[in-house]
Structure 1
Amino acid sequence: MKVTLLGTGTSQGVPVIGCNCEVCRSVDYRDNRLRVSVHLQVNGKSFIIDSGPDFRQQALRERIRTLDALLFTHEHKDHTAGLDDIRAYNFSQHKDMPLYGEERVLEQLKREFAYIFSGVQYPGIPRVQLNPITEEPFEIEGVAFTPIRVKHYKLPVLGFRVNDFTYITDANFISEEEMDKVRGSKVIVLGALRKEPHISHFSLQEAIDVLTELKPEKAYLTHISHLMGLHHEVEQQLPAFIRLGYDGLQIEL
């Protein structure tokens, strides 16, 4: 199994438009963060979790030539805005793209991308197949996905576990029942927005506390804002098994 972090930034990305802080001015490539997304290659199959505004750029950078399904954690724009760009896979693979998400999320996609779902099928629009996530676990192309149900303030959000890998982005609460689904993962990617507390995201210390309890062999932080600080400085403050994620990071399991 191969995991590629396509984007590790928060909703504004890093650098932030109009910001002149040291992180946004950094020349360290690890401080440049596109909106959050991840690519999973499992048993010869290709999956992406979340298609944010930078989806096209990420797929081109990583040369993702095939895609078997697109999964969504939740309906916020920084996780869905790039949906239109799956058209390229429609054309090259000659089939509709399977989309997976909770019913609420799929309904939101219908509203925001109404032209895809209208009765008039304009030539060249994305062609999709909607698959509500109702079972735990569920399978796509023979690969088992276990949903991890977390809270992003009051909004339900899905993380996903595949084999020994767990991915959770926008969250500031994970119940004990859901933590039990994550336990035993060898690698965990978890969102950590900044050092200061936030109403809907784990802070750096909160994420460290969660990961220390779960005890994976390796953990990476994602959904990182420019307020976190410089990549090389923050990494020096982390436990040895936790690293900051960065765009393009590849993890082999």
Structure 2
Amino acid sequence: MKVTLLGTGDTTGTPTPGCDCDTCRAADEHGVERTRFSVHVEHEPSGDSLLVDFSPDFRYQFLREDVPLPDAGIVTHQHFDHLDGLGNAYRLFEELPVYAADETDPETGESVAETVASKFDYLRPLDARAVTPFESFDAAGFEVTLVPVDHPPLLCYGVVIERDGAKLSLSGDTTYDIPEESREAMCDPDLLLADGIVPAHLSHHHPRGGRHEDSEGVPRTFGTKHMTLEGALALGDDLNASETRVVHVSHFFPADEAFADELAVDGETFRL
């Protein structure tokens, strides 16, 4: 599998529009970006490809990275930075199966699959397909499993993708408090893409602070929805990942920390 990180940033991306912080300026100077989250997975022998989440930056990402349009897609949850790029399906696809969870979200009264179907009902090529968490399914020739994670108030799912003996796990947007059954499904990946929005030392900036501290008191969760950098790396250790890359990275990382090796930037590729 060839994995291309199309978007590695949080909801505003880096650089953030209208921001002149040191980190955004440094990103400009280094010519790197973290656009809104999206991951492209390709099986090069067959040409099959799969997209995890549809970033609002869809058009720009595909032009920039020159990867093939996906044969199928997955949507992990209902936040706009993971979903709204589906509008780009207009006049680009003859048919696009999009897989999403079938569990009803108490917050919205509908499942992610139902949200995809209702919000984009004007897109004739889009075929929203409801799937049940922990039940593997075939998407464009890949074996895919959705696993519940912890991203209140909305239901959210991590993703496990396997083919030809290779395994990619994505944490989805989540705190460190991922259920054990989900961890078991995600374990032993060749590559883990883990949500790490800020370093732990910034947790005091969140009204809820940091949570899920390690044995040394370092928060592995920032507030209520995301892991810290330290939490993301700890998850990689917990899951025995061969390699961990931290994604969903915000511009709140101090400039001298924002481009460390473990933090992904757009355009990185991996062959599993």
Instruction: Let me know the Cα RMSD of the aligned residues.
Output: 1.9
Which protein has the bigger helix share?
A: 1
Q: Distance in 2 between matches of 1:214 and 1:106?
A: 28
Number of the residue aligned with 2:80: 77
Q: 1:53 aligns with which of 45, 56, 65?
A: 56
SS in 2 for 1:81: helix
What are the within-5 Å matches in structure 2 for residues 91-240 of structure 1?
A: 95-103=94-102, 104-116=111-123, 126-134=124-132, 136-163=135-162, 164-172=167-175, 173-195=177-199, 196=203, 197-230=222-255, 233-234=257-258
Structure 2, gaps ≥5 residues long: 103-110, 204-221
Q: Distance in 1 between matches of 2:66 and 2:258?
A: 30
Residues 16, 24 of structure 2: 8 Å contact kept: yes
Percent identity (aligned):
31
State the one-letter code of the partner of 1:102: A
Change over 3 Å in CA distance of 1:55–1:66 after alignment to 2: closer
Q: Distance in 2 between matches of 1:62 and 1:233?
A: 25
Q: Distance in 1 between matches of 2:125 and 2:187?
A: 37
1:114 Cα deviation (Å)? 4.5
Residues 6, 36 of structure 1: 8 Å contact kept: yes
Question: How many equivalent residue pairs?
Answer: 233
Deviations 1:195-224 (A, max 9, x none): 122221001122222222222111100000
SS in 1 for 2:238: helix
SS in 2 for 1:221: strand
Change over 3 Å in CA distance of 1:6–1:213 after alignment to 2: same
Q: Distance in 1 between matches of 2:113 and 2:187?
A: 29
Q: Distance in 1 between matches of 2:239 and 2:189?
A: 8
Structure 1, gaps ≥5 residues long: 117-125
1:235 Cα deviation (Å)? 5.7
